[in-house]
Amino acid sequence: MFVADRGTDRIVRLQDLDNNGDANGSGEAMVFLDNSNLSGVTLGDPYGLALELPAPPPSGPFFTRGDANTDGGFNIADAIFILGVLFSGNPAGTCEDANDANDDGSLNIADAIFALGALFGGGGNLPAPFPGCGLDPTVDALGCAGFAACP
C-alpha cells in the first residue's frame, strides 16, 4: 500500500511484514520517496488520492523555553549554557527544545543571540512555552527527554 503525504511530498510504503494485520511493526512503514531522494522528480497527485496526514500532536514532558540549564529560571546562565553546548562541546542537557530559544527547530548561535536579546535587548518574551511550563507548540526534530524544573 502506498500513501502519499501532500504535506511533505512523501510516499510511504506500508507493509504487513509480520502478518499481524497492521503496518505498525518495526520496518513496516518505510519512506519510499521523499524530498531527500526525489532528485528532480516531481510528485503529482492526478487522482486526488493523497491523504492529508495530520502533524503529530505535541508530546513529551513540559519544559520552559530558554531554560537551557533546566534550573527553573531564565537568565544569562542559560545563554552561556547554550554557547557552551555549541562551542565548548558541553552536553546539551536533557531538553533540546529548551535550548531552542527562537523555536526554529535547530540549535545554533541564533538561539544564544535570541536569548541574550530577550534578556538584555528588550527582545521580550521567548516563544511558548515561556515563561511557564508547557509543550512545544511547533513540532520539530528537537526533543525533550526530561525537564526537572517542570512538573
Q: Where does this chain bind Ca ion (CB under 5 A)?
A: 67, 69, 71, 73, 78, 97, 100, 102-104, 111, 136, 138, 140, 142
For residue 123, give Cα distances in angstroms to 29, 102, 103: 43, 11, 14
Q: How far is the CB of 75 from Ca ion (least distance, A)?
A: 6
Q: How far is the CB of 113 from Ca ion (least distance, A)?
A: 10
Cβ closest to Ca ion, residue 118 vs residue 142: 142
Contacts of 30 (CB under 8 A, 6+ apart): 12, 13, 14, 15
Q: How far is the CB of 9 from Ca ion (least distance, A)?
A: 21
Contacts of 95 (CB under 8 A, 6+ apart): 61, 63, 70, 143, 144, 145, 146, 147
Cβ closest to Ca ion, residue 25 vs residue 72: 72
Cβ closest to Ca ion, residue 25 vs residue 131: 131
